[in-house]
Amino acid sequence: MTARVLIAEDEPNIVESLSFLLKREGLDVTAVLDGEETLRALQADAPDVVILDVMLPSMDGFSILKQIRADPRLKALRVIVLTAKGQAQDRRTAEEIGADAFITKPFSNRDVVERVRRLAGL
């Protein structure tokens, strides 16, 4: 079975880069560009792993993560928080809400791939 990854990111270059890397690893990748679209995609068909940017249009990643953890159908979903804001407070907030991993931009391609594979159980 192929692991499915949802990328919630509004920067087209980052979406393209992450999609390429993860597809090359044999993962099934879908991308959405804003917070509301992220929630709709998760409700319609939850993936194995979400790469969730903090700064999204219409709803920030922390608010989305809170909704994921509050939803009984989604609360076990594996979430990697991706952000350009690498402050310790952002990391603490992500961990307190329930992020499974936290990656700052710019990121190491290898690090992202390894974390996705680990969280997907590959």
Confidence of residue 90 (pLDDT cuts 50, 70, 90): confident
- In this model, does residue 96 exceed pLDDT 90? yes
- In this model, does residue 1 exceed pLDDT 70? no
The residue whose two tokens read 């990111």 is: 9
- In this model, does residue 87 exceed pLDDT 80? no
Confidence of residue 20 (pLDDT cuts 50, 70, 90): very high
- CA torsion through residues 10, 11, 13, 14, sign: negative
Residue-level pLDDT at 16: 96
Residue-level pLDDT at 10: 94
Question: Which candidate, 80, 56, 77, places its Cα nearest to that of 67?
Answer: 77
CB 53 within 8 A of CB 61: yes
Across residues 78-105, what is the average pLDDT?
89
Bridging pattern class, strands 28-32 and 49-53: unpaired
Partner residues linked to 109 by β-bridges: none
| Residue 4 identity (one-letter amino acid) | R
Residues 35-65 have pLDDT tens digits of: 999 999 999 999 999 999 999 999 999 999 9
Residue-level pLDDT at 84: 82
Percent of the chain with pLDDT over 90: 85
Average per-residue pLDDT for the chain: 94
Q: Where are the domains of the chain?
A: 4-119
Output the CATH code of domain 4-119: 3.40.50.2300
Q: How far apart are CA 23 and CA 116, in angstroms?
A: 12
CB 85 within 8 A of CB 13: no
Q: How far apart are CA 77 and CA 65, in angstroms?
A: 10
